[in-house]
Structure 1
Amino acid sequence: MIRELYDQEMSIYEISRRLHINRKTARKYAKSKEIPRCHEKGILTTIT
Structure 2
Amino acid sequence: MSLYCSQILSHANCIADKALRRMALRLSGLHNTGAQRSFNYSTETFSK
TM bin, normalised by shorter chain, reads under 0.3
Compute the TM-score of the two structures, normalised by the length of structure 2: 0.24
Computing the radius of gyration from Cα coordinates, the structure with the larger value is 2
Identify which of structures 1 and 2 has the higher relative contact order when contacts are C-alpha pairs closer than 8 Å and 6+ apart: 1
